[in-house]
Structure 1
Amino acid sequence: MKRILLAALCLVALQSRALAADGSLQAVKQKGKLVLGLDDSFPPMGFRNESNQIVGYDIDLAKEVAKRLGVQLVPQPIDWNAKEQELNTHKIDCIWNGFTITDERKQAMAFTKPYLRNAQVVVVKKGSPFTTLASLKGKKVGLQAGSSAANALDAAPAFKKSLKEVVEFKDNLTALMDLEARGVDAVVMDLILANDNIQRSKKALVVLPESLSPEVFGVGFRKNDLALRDGVQGALEAMRKDGTLAKITTQWFGSDISVVGK
């Protein structure tokens, strides 16, 4: 028993020393800013408003987190297909933009705990003959390159094989525009983004009832930047306790659908 206790204490000591050696949080505080990488055409998580300012649910959360860390938030638009490279070359400090946590991504970076639930769904034109995944057999489906929609499609090999073609776009909004122009027959994308786009634009689009995969959003950091990750996680949990998180979430979604601390 003593040996087990000693081993456990040694492990805690090693973890504490490793965290102390991780200067990621201190580095952000010293430079006075947290650089957030995002796709700036991803409403309601992060997008440009009519004044060309970057706004969104994730932006509001991140601004409050940055404030609590004593730094300024700097939203930095990136090529979403090169997001890991942007992070690893230190051009950004984190990826916070409806970023799906996957096993593959967890091998390459450190994540906060999930803060929001989501799913990958299929969007079609209202009144089209496509009402199920099976009805899209032999059709063209679009999605954003490098997105979790591509991963979800890969995880549904039978459905993917049934398609005539998978067309990749730079962003989801371009994919939806092509859907409206009948360039593709459907678009695979995030449920939250799809619902928001349809509600805001009043476009004649619908989400199929079958989803490809459930998922959760988290904030991604470089693999060794655990101190920074934990600092952000701690701020989110404090926001949950004092009601700030619920207030921001309700402003964007009409109710508190956040899963922080749940």
Structure 2
Amino acid sequence: MDLKSLFSGVLALVLIPLAAHAEDLPDLGGKTLMVATENAYPPLQFIDPNSGQAIGWEYDAMKEIAKRLNFKAAHQNVSWGAMIQAVSDGQYHIGMNGITIKDDRKEKVDFSDPYMRSEMFMLVRGDEERFSDAKSFAALKDGLVGAQPGTPPFYVAVHDVLDGNEHNPRIKRFETFGASVQALKTGDVDVVLTDGTAGKGYAQASEGALKLVGGPLGAEDFGFIFPKGSDLVASVNAAIKLLKADGTFDALNKKWFLDYKLGG
């Protein structure tokens, strides 16, 4: 299978811009910037079960951005529920967590340009045969979906899979994405909606216990977040433009979406 086929429906980069030049990038003078992340979204960022180290596509991307802009990234684990407000309050310079660029979030934080486009898929148990897509799941009256409130999977479950009621009893709420996946494994819920990148990672690591079913349920653009008015936005955008143009992001896509085996 070629690279284009494998990424179809899982990951689509935004259009490659015109070439940028490293000499055009600003120099941040070696300063240390605090970067918030949850480490719960493989393969973007997660704890390696073998080494215990925080790794992933976003860690590598931020390392490359820091190298180009001459700063040090100091990462700190922050829950998703607290992250946007913490960055808005200036507790962190940058937030990275596969964060969907949305207008309501722009009221609290500034976003970088998109660095990745993702699509939602249904993650189910490997032996699931009662449904195979959103329509057949919706028809399964006792089927339960696990979701983290305030996230794209939650709203896709509400509006694209079920009936638009955020209090529908078929939606079971969890504090973390990882907890919803664990509930799926134990049979407490029947499906978890996830970006295809994370879903592929979990399915791959499960050795057949989990799988993705159905087609994509929506596209989302991911961006890094900053406190409102941060002068880092333009600098990071320039670095993103360069890393798209020079093939660095393509290499990271191959590393994390083709070559890396989560838990292997």
The 10-residue stretch of structure 1 (232-241 or 146-155) with the greater mean CA deviation from structure 2: 146-155
Q: CA deviation at 1:198?
A: 0.7
Structure 1 Cα separation of the partners of residues 104 and 112 of structure 2: 15
Q: CA deviation at 1:65?
A: 0.7
Aligned residue number for residue 120 of structure 1: 120
RMSD: 2.4
Aligned residue number for residue 189 of structure 1: 194
Aligned residue number for residue 136 of structure 1: 137
Greater per-residue helix proportion: 1
Structure 1 Cα separation of the partners of residues 249 and 161 of structure 2: 38
Structure 1 Cα separation of the partners of residues 222 and 236 of structure 2: 14
The 10-residue stretch of structure 1 (244-253 or 40-49) with the greater mean CA deviation from structure 2: 244-253
- Identity score, percent: 26
Aligned residue number for residue 104 of structure 2: 104
Aligned residue number for residue 54 of structure 1: 54
Q: CA deviation at 1:61?
A: 0.3
Aligned residue number for residue 222 of structure 1: 227
Letter in 2 for 1:35: M
Structure 2 Cα separation of the partners of residues 219 and 119 of structure 1: 18
Change (3 A) 1:83 1:125: same
Return the TM-score normalized by structure 2: 0.78
Aligned residues: 228
Structure 1 Cα separation of the partners of residues 250 and 131 of structure 2: 37
- Tell me if 1:254 matches 2:253: no
Check whether the contact 1:45–1:97 (CA below 8 A) recurs between aligned residues.
yes
Letter in 2 for 1:224: G
Higher relative contact order (CA 8 A, sep 6+): 2
Return the TM-score normalized by structure 1: 0.78
Q: CA deviation at 1:158?
A: 4.5
- Tell me if 1:176 matches 2:186: no
Letter in 2 for 1:132: D
Change (3 A) 1:249 1:136: closer
Give 5+ residue unaligned stretches, structure 2.
Answer: 1-25, 260-264
